[in-house]
């Protein structure tokens, strides 16, 4: 159950359990109960709409390039704000991922020589790692 769902279970007028105890039982921070949530910023909605338009046109753009494009359009915005809005919208740049486990074609695959060997005493097998 998510934190907002647990926060919804809280009863402020409960006669036997205090708010502090209810927060403890529901594993909810008391600061999230007492402080009202901040209202949505209208400017954020406009920026999110524009970020969505740019991201739909170019899905490979990340927060740095989107920030540069928005600043080029005359909208002064910080990269961290673009990152926060992208996270809120659930979008991320499409790009190449690391391909560290792909073998190169033509490379020889060496056999594992200890596969059927029962290792039952100390110093029977030694190994060295040459990766760095």
Same domain (yes/no): 15, 47 = no
Asked, for residue 112, whether it belongs to a domain, the answer is no
CA 70, CA 105: separation in Å to the nearest integer? 43
Same domain (yes/no): 29, 49 = no
Q: What is the pLDDT of residue 97?
A: 83
List the pLDDT tens digit at each of the 132 positions of the chain: 888 888 889 888 899 999 999 999 999 998 888 877 777 777 889 999 999 999 999 999 999 999 999 999 999 999 999 999 999 999 999 988 888 888 888 888 889 888 999 999 999 999 888 887
Give me the domain span that covers residue 16: 3-34
User: What's the domain count of the chain?
Assistant: 2
Longest dimension (CA), the chain: 75
Same domain (yes/no): 48, 17 = no
Asked, for residue 130, whether it belongs to a domain, the answer is no
Asked, for residue 23, whether it belongs to a domain, the answer is yes
């Amino acid at each position: 159950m998510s934190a907002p769902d647990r926060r919804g279970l809280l009863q402020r007028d409960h006669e036997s359990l205090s708010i502090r105890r209810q927060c403890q039982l529901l594993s909810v921070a008391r600061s999230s109960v007492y402080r009202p949530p901040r209202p949505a910023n209208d400017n954020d909605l406009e920026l999110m709409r524009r970020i969505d338009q740019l991201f739909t046109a170019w899905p490979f753009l990340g927060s740095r390039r989107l920030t540069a494009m928005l600043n080029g359009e005359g909208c002064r915005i910080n990269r961290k704000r673009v990152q926060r809005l992208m996270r809120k919208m659930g979008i991320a740049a499409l790009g190449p991922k690391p391909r560290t486990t792909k073998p190169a074609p033509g490379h020889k695959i060496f056999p594992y020589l200890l596969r059927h060997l029962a290792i039952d005493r100390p110093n029977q097998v030694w190994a060295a790692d040459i990766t760095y």
